Structure 1
């Protein structure tokens, strides 16, 4: 065997390793096929997230729990595929979730410690069509989708520098007290975006409300509703600050026309509503290091006392981008959140305890969360996030006397 031939596998291995560390995706360009598909109008995506959480102190039990989410998607650019003028795009997404809940099994709190836990089965999460309409300033999207993909969260993605679902995504009292649904729960609906100016945008949507399909594995591939109760209509005004210190501000309102049982009563209440304010603002940029900046975020959400399990959510925190000179894509995040139970729900728990001859524990008025995380971008396609969460009054929603919990975790995200 010639020396050149013997060296070939080694050279190939070194090249593959270097490529793996530099590629934007784990699977690379598929020998050029991926790039060719992109040019033809077919964009294929895939990602994995795994979240392990260990309850080190307080809560219910000392142990660990793991949950995961797999997502595969394909987007068809009809303009490229068929040579159409403003043909629009079709998005197809499939989602699979597995694992166990640290909140349910180990701590007993309301705000999910693992944001990717819930709906443990394979499902269709989006089949939608999107295009501009009449003018480039007006964008329409309709089909089967999660409304939280387009409304109720910050576009910057700053909130997903955390592992707890109280931060990552959308204020949870919105989905707890109305027909609002977040990923992976999807419903039939339509969303319109209109650019009022380069800085201002208006978003309006309407989605079918179908509580019986949420988290129901038998409805995993059914686009149509099982039992419609009404329509939820969110309206959102977005303002984006341009310049050296960018910012994003969202003011939203939503109304759900469904009739539901009033908490503590056998009577129905007609309609549920809520409002929210979300902020992401850059506070500081390092003039000596491009990309290093400090952002602050804030969340406030209020929902109807008639039927919402918790009526207020407050969240605030900071995220430092590029915390070290040699780590340009890393992040350091610290957040505080407070979820306030509905006083009517608390009264029901107290009455139930008294009727059973039990004392009701002296609980604070809210479940509180402090979270610290570090996002380590190991490669362009792999992010490792060590995470610490301290949960105050885990039993605020259940009426149980549960010690404050200290949870340590690790989130792994990979792009295929």
Structure 2
């Protein structure tokens, strides 16, 4: 790819130094590049909003796994949103979103540990691609919002709107339960497909979300499809339905109950026969359990995740996750967080049977391993400036070889996540 598109920590530092010369409030402004001499604010007033962010994740395997070493991965996202009401003076003209994404780096999970849950949530699809070209507006009533175009399902469904789960670096927590995309046509960012999403506010607290997306496995992670909006080979349609409840008050909460169905015909695990359709369901919770009355903004939230997918066709049938996040751990650090989470990923017994049969046919002994990969993660989010977050991170991975059928020692991984908003 052109070197001008790539961004590294060195380039990030150079960009910060350059903008600091033009604007003296580097440590206090909301974005790294500032207001561009007032141009950025004026463009937004006129209906054009530019966004951009960078994340870099370094992980070092200190014990267990496969090898002692470190791996780095990065994600760069650039976007522009056009508010058609402001641009053309329309009444409820809607918004157009264009987003481009670039990923580079190496995987600590693949190279160093051998586990299934990606240690770096920003690893995967290492090329430049179009990740969204969509149109969104309210329709008939302010309670009904429709979005259609080329986009990732996971941007609007399957995750917690509060963003609590991205206080972690492992993809098992950050984003969405991975068995949803591992065993169906569900796609999470940056994989995008053609689709439509509808949100309807049933009341101030209740919302219904329904969507339909094209299923095109051949385009996922395929660099030759990076700029193709249309599918290469459609296998079906995936339809998620999600009910959202948001609790208001002193201890707010968010609850999501979802179901999805993929109409694709796929091979049954361990058999040459096909199964027609596959689906799953999930429950996601984010609930404040404590607020410090003497220090506004200081609170403790508990979260929970449960997701189950098709036993016939999904290699990853269940995910359980739970944890806590403390916001404003110190009075002098109002934007910092401390997060502790536990997750358990359960392989499909059919997949294990396939691995055991393959070992038997090869005359090899199958290792005596547990039935699930487990994850314990502790992180501290240090908000160095309004636009820069540094997150030291520790992950302990139990039974890394649960999905591969390999006897791999439990791994201790230490890491650092860097996030910057342009």
Mark the CA change 1:228 to 1:13 in structure 2 (over 3 Å): closer, same or farther: closer
RMSD, matched Cα: 1.2
Shift of 1:244: 1.1
Q: Is residue 398 from structure 1 mapped to residue 404 from structure 2 by the alignment? A: yes
Shift of 1:20: 0.3
- Cα distance in 1 between the residues matched to 2:269 and 2:229: 30
Shift of 1:181: 0.1
- Cα distance in 1 between the residues matched to 2:99 and 2:29: 23
Match of 1:152 in 2: 158
**352-361 or 265-274, which moves further after superposition?**
352-361
Q: Is residue 37 from structure 1 mapped to residue 43 from structure 2 by the alignment? A: yes
Q: Summarize deviations over 1:197-225 as a string: whole Å, max 9, x none.
A: 00000000000000000000000000000
Q: Summarize deviations over 1:305-360 as a string: whole Å, max 9, x none.
A: 00101100000000000000000000000000000000000011011111111111
Q: Is residue 383 from structure 1 mapped to residue 418 from structure 2 by the alignment? A: no
- Cα distance in 2 between the residues matched to 1:13 and 1:127: 29
Structure 2 alignment gaps of length 5 or more: 1-17
Match of 1:25 in 2: 31
Mark the CA change 1:13 to 1:273 in structure 2 (over 3 Å): closer, same or farther: closer
Match of 1:339 in 2: 345
Residues 103 and 123, structure 2, Cα contact 8 Å, conserved in 1: yes
Q: Summarize deviations over 1:232-252 as a string: whole Å, max 9, x none.
A: 000000000001111000000
- Cα distance in 1 between the residues matched to 2:211 and 2:221: 22
Match of 1:113 in 2: 119
Match of 2:328 in 1: 322
Match of 2:223 in 1: 217
- Cα distance in 2 between the residues matched to 1:48 and 1:288: 35
Match of 1:74 in 2: 80
- Cα distance in 2 between the residues matched to 1:200 and 1:59: 44
What SS class does the counterpart of residue 362 from structure 1 fall into?
coil
Residues 19 and 33, structure 2, Cα contact 8 Å, conserved in 1: no
Which of 292, 301, 306 is matched with 1:300 structurally? 306
Q: Summarize deviations over 1:130-163 as a string: whole Å, max 9, x none.
A: 0000000000000000000000000000000000
What SS class does the counterpart of residue 175 from structure 1 fall into?
helix
- Cα distance in 2 between the residues matched to 1:190 and 1:273: 19
- Cα distance in 1 between the residues matched to 2:123 and 2:205: 35
Mark the CA change 1:13 to 1:354 in structure 2 (over 3 Å): closer, same or farther: closer
Match of 1:310 in 2: 316
- Cα distance in 1 between the residues matched to 2:215 and 2:31: 36
Which of 235, 258, 283 is matched with 2:264 structurally? 258
Mark the CA change 1:13 to 1:206 in structure 2 (over 3 Å): closer, same or farther: closer
TM-score where L is the length of structure 2: 0.95
- Cα distance in 2 between the residues matched to 1:46 and 1:233: 30
Mark the CA change 1:127 to 1:13 in structure 2 (over 3 Å): closer, same or farther: closer
Match of 1:291 in 2: 297
Match of 2:110 in 1: 104
Q: Summarize deviations over 1:346-405 as a string: whole Å, max 9, x none.
A: 011011111111111111110000000000000000000000000000000000000000
Q: Stretches of 4+ moved more than 6 A in 1?
A: 12-17
- Cα distance in 2 between the residues matched to 1:337 and 1:324: 27
Shift of 1:268: 0.5
* Matched positions, count: 405
Mark the CA change 1:32 to 1:229 in structure 2 (over 3 Å): closer, same or farther: same
- Cα distance in 1 between the residues matched to 2:163 and 2:178: 16
Mark the CA change 1:138 to 1:30 in structure 2 (over 3 Å): closer, same or farther: same
Q: Summarize deviations over 1:274-310 as a string: whole Å, max 9, x none.
A: 0000000000000110100000000000000001011
Shift of 1:13: 11
- Cα distance in 1 between the residues matched to 2:155 and 2:28: 29
Match of 1:230 in 2: 236
Residues 19 and 34, structure 2, Cα contact 8 Å, conserved in 1: no
